[in-house]
Amino acid sequence: MAKRPKKKGVTAKEAAADQSNLSIIYIHGIANKPAPAVLKRQWDMALFGVDMGSRTRMAYWADIRYPQPLPSTMTEAKAMILSESYRPRSDEEIIDESKRLAPYGKDAEAFAQKLAKRMLDQSKKDQIRAQDGTLDVKDVQAKILPPWIRRSATEWITKQFIEDVAAYFYNQEQRKAIQERFRSLLNPEGGPYFVIAHSLGTVISYDIMRELTAGSGAQTPYYITLGSPLGIDEVQDNLRKPVRIPAPVKQWDNFADLLDPVAFDKSLSGEFAPTGKIDDDIVINRDTLRLSGFNPHSATGYLATKNVQTTVRKILGSSFAEPLSPFIVARDLAAEMADPTERFPVLIELKEEMTGKTLEEKRKNLIEELTRLTDRQRAAKIDPLRRFVAAELTSIEIDTLAVRHPQLQIARIWKNSEKRALLDKSTHVVQAYTAQLGYGATGRGITWAVLDTGIAADHPHFKTYNNIAAQWDCTGIGAPRMPKTGDVGDGSGHGTHVAGIIAGSGTGENALYRGMAPEAKLHIYKVLDDDGRGSDSWVIKALDHIASINEASPSLVIHGVNLSLGGPFDPTVYGTGFSPLCRELRRLWRMGVVVCIAAGNEGRLIIETFAGQQELNLDLSIGDPANLDEGIAVGSVHKEQPHLYGISYFSSRGPTADGRAKPDLVAPGERIVSCNARFAAKRPATHYVPMSGTSMACPHVSGIVAAFLSSRREFIGRPDQVKAFLLSHCTDLKRDRYHQGAGMPNLVRMLAET
């Protein structure tokens, strides 16, 4: 059958008018699939060559039929080979087996047998015509493929199609659940929508779109069907009559491969009223051209064809797939949103225009909307911050917020990313002990915030100078909480170890263990759980609290913060150093608070290869928020012989993803001895323990700056000058700038030259 002449369809001008707010909805077809996010990305890559983030959504229903998804590396071709149906069988065997595939009564069995016979008969006809040239097959590979490969593929596809289509038509519970997956993405307030459907997905989407009316509710002006069974009489018998083009559809393009056993009626134009309005196009599925993995019904094979891509590009315009397009839902969040049943941790950022409602009013309105939208479910974990609201929402709830973002004054919806503790004789190495003795730089009168896993506040190390000024738990919903009794605790031990490097002093036989600024006061914020894991929202909650304390006082109360935590980031989502967390840290810096951040422990990576484990040393491994330009990013160096052994193998290296030099400097981070949260009070030998990582290097710098400020108070509230002075007085270790930064801090030099 020759390709039909193209109809006029929607004009380029009309398409351009819709393109600015057009959303694509994919709906997949038969057989089990990989996890939702994996499948969506496969379709994005096949059609556009890039991950499209929130601009495309997948109506995923495979889990309703198949509880366990395919592994991400499992293709349909591999699944075909592994199935027992890959053994060629007679038509009679397949038709007889089809009854078992439709266990929903006599009508379902009769439907399955009739459909199996028709599919097998049509497949034989198509293959014969492909061989003798009466079909317009332009690629010789389809002709010379061994018949047993084509036969086996046809058997497998036929079995999967009959099994799934019978369930859809004759299992009403599954049919309703499957339909709801597609219907839920058609937000009446959103759109317009461009629906791209494959296989049984064309039946499901048609079923729902047939209910829509033009001009009201969800609008679906563009419709592409791939390998569709909508032309099959047995399928049409189960659809609403008469079969006609859905009212909102302005342009319908249908694509079929000549050897696709599901789309054996290649033309839909004459089937759906008004006739002649559907553009039917014969294509060669990319997976038809493969000897290994032959599959003329492959969804990604259809999406990768030039005909489909050209049609999509004409509708969307060339800029739709631009990676840097504006967005409301961040790309890394959108990439995970394909699973309709899961809740995703989000950070909803409020607009901060000076006109109109106050930030407090906007936050209140958003919380009311979230409460209504989530039906007051506790699972939503709605947690208001200053400029953000954290929550755990379903993909449908996120989509609803995105559609209503102008009314709700939402700037962006970000992924609430995970942060983790960066754990993988030092006072003398950075000259802190000498400065304490010679300059009285002990941290007295300086307060530092430690954002970490908490603290064992009863540790003797913190009793000598009564270092712990306040403790706050930020790991729950609501405002930071002070412990009613005892302290916030530290099930991890990481936070206690970090705090002990900044301040405090041992006694008796442990008197040699002193913090960099032994007399500094500490405000402890628990932002990581006892496994050393937390979220951006918990950290931002602590930063909001620190800002409010400083704003309520005529002078700074908290002079600096230590963040021995971090995580990876996606530079396609936001500029390097401009994540929500980085922007809140920048506000604090501009308030006059020094920000010290561990650079990360990603300098060494172990990967699995066919030859076994291989180790790689990585540049460009600075994490988030260490990539904040204003902050002081701290790498790790050997604690006793830094000139000889240099930078720690695990310490993250620069430059940043946008080309800036980081880390800013390095400090001791290997086997650093500090407070043990699991100490036994009467056994001094258990009071201290060694740990390694940039987590240990960072508090060295926090303590050094606290000690410096206690002796040179004119620099309080001037973090830019403090950072410049700190870096200009480092000891050069003669290592690469992207490894060592300015070198290792020297507190005595800083004090001697001021």
Per-residue pLDDT band for 677 (boundaries 50, 70, 90) equals very high
pLDDT tens per residue, range 267-302:
999 999 998 899 999 999 988 776 566 788 999 999
H or E stretch covering 391: strand 388-393
Pairing verdict, β 447-452 and 23-27: unpaired
* Cα(230)–Cα(124) distance, integer angstroms: 20
H or E stretch covering 506: none
Q: At what angle do helices 147-170 and 200-209 cross, to 10 degrees?
A: 30
Q: Are 202 and 229 within 8 A, CB to CB? A: yes
Q: Of the residues 535, 695, 702, 711, which is catalytic?
A: 695
Is the model's pLDDT at 151 over the cut of 60? no
Per-residue pLDDT band for 753 (boundaries 50, 70, 90) equals confident
Q: Which residue has the tokens 């075909």?
A: 80
Most confident range, picked from 127-136, 433-442, 702-711: 702-711
* Cα(24)–Cα(302) distance, integer angstroms: 16
The whole-number pLDDT of residue 645 equals: 86
The whole-number pLDDT of residue 607 equals: 54
Tell me the DSSP string of 521-559.
EEEEEE-B-TTSEEEHHHHHHHHHHHHHHHHTSSS-S--
Q: Which residue has the tokens 């005529």?
A: 554
Per-residue pLDDT band for 716 (boundaries 50, 70, 90) equals very high
Q: Of the residues 51, 260, 424, 452, which is catalytic?
A: 452
Is the model's pLDDT at 325 over the cut of 50? yes
Which ranges constitute the DSSP H helices of 691-746? 694-711, 719-728, 737-740
Domain ranges of the chain: 12-231+240-316, 343-416, 420-752
How large is the average pLDDT for residues 320-348? 80
* Cα(519)–Cα(465) distance, integer angstroms: 6
Per-residue pLDDT band for 1 (boundaries 50, 70, 90) equals very low
pLDDT tens per residue, range 64-101:
999 999 887 666 656 655 554 445 666 666 676 777 78
pLDDT tens per residue, range 501-554:
999 999 989 988 999 999 999 999 999 999 899 999 999 999 999 999 999 999
Is the model's pLDDT at 447 over the cut of 80? yes
- Mean pLDDT for the chain overall: 86
Q: Which CATH superfamily is 420-752 part of?
A: Peptidase S8/S53 domain (3.40.50.200)
The whole-number pLDDT of residue 574 equals: 81
How large is the average pLDDT for residues 564-570? 87
Per-residue pLDDT band for 428 (boundaries 50, 70, 90) equals low
The whole-number pLDDT of residue 282 equals: 93
Q: Which fold has domain 343-416?
A: Alpha-Beta Plaits (3.30.70)
* Cα(365)–Cα(471) distance, integer angstroms: 31
Q: Is 452 one of the annotated active-site residues of the chain?
A: yes
Per-residue pLDDT band for 177 (boundaries 50, 70, 90) equals very high
The whole-number pLDDT of residue 558 equals: 98
Determine how many CB atoms are found less than 10 A away from the CB of residue 491. Answer: 15
Q: Of the residues 28, 494, 559, 729, which is catalytic?
A: 494
Q: Is 695 one of the annotated active-site residues of the chain?
A: yes
Distance of CA 309 to the CA centre of its chain: 27
H or E stretch covering 242: none
* Cα(682)–Cα(671) distance, integer angstroms: 24
pLDDT tens per residue, range 294-307:
788 999 999 999 99
The whole-number pLDDT of residue 477 equals: 94
How large is the average pLDDT for residues 659-684? 92
Q: Provide the token pair at 199.
A: 């296989």
- Edge to edge, the sheet with strand 388-393 lists 383-384, 388-393, 344-350, 410-415
In 3D space, the residue among 362, 36, 18, 332 whose CA is nearest the CA of residue 192 turns out to be 18
Q: Which amino acid is at 364?
A: K
